[in-house]
Amino acid sequence: MLLNLDKPLKRATLHNEFCLFVPKPVGTKLKPLGQLGRDGGWFEVTTKAEAEAKATALLPDATLTRCPRC
């Protein structure tokens, strides 16, 4: 699974790896894979609990949701 942390929107979204809303390749200049950039970041996680822990640690104001499309 992939966790998308979005700093401007204060949102954390959990996606399946093959979701259409995950950029290909994963990560961008402002949202890199594996670290926080200016606008957030993408992180590989294996469980929902791991996603919750990472979101809380890196972006405490974020609300964690599952992607409604994947």
Per residue in 32-67, pLDDT tens?
Answer: 999 999 999 999 999 999 999 999 999 999 999 999
Whether the CB-CB separation of 6 and 15 falls below 8 Å is answered with: no
What is the tens place of the pLDDT at every residue in 10-20?
999 999 989 99
So what's the pLDDT on residue 48? 94
Statement: residue 27 has pLDDT above 90: no
Q: What's the total number of domains in the chain?
A: 1
Please, are residues 59 and 65 in contact by the beta-carbon 8 Å criterion? no
pLDDT attached to residue 41: 96
CA distance 33 to 17: 13
Predicted local distance difference test score (pLDDT) of residue 57? 96
Q: What is the pLDDT of residue 28?
A: 87
Domain region containing 17: 2-66
**What pLDDT score was predicted for residue 24?**
86
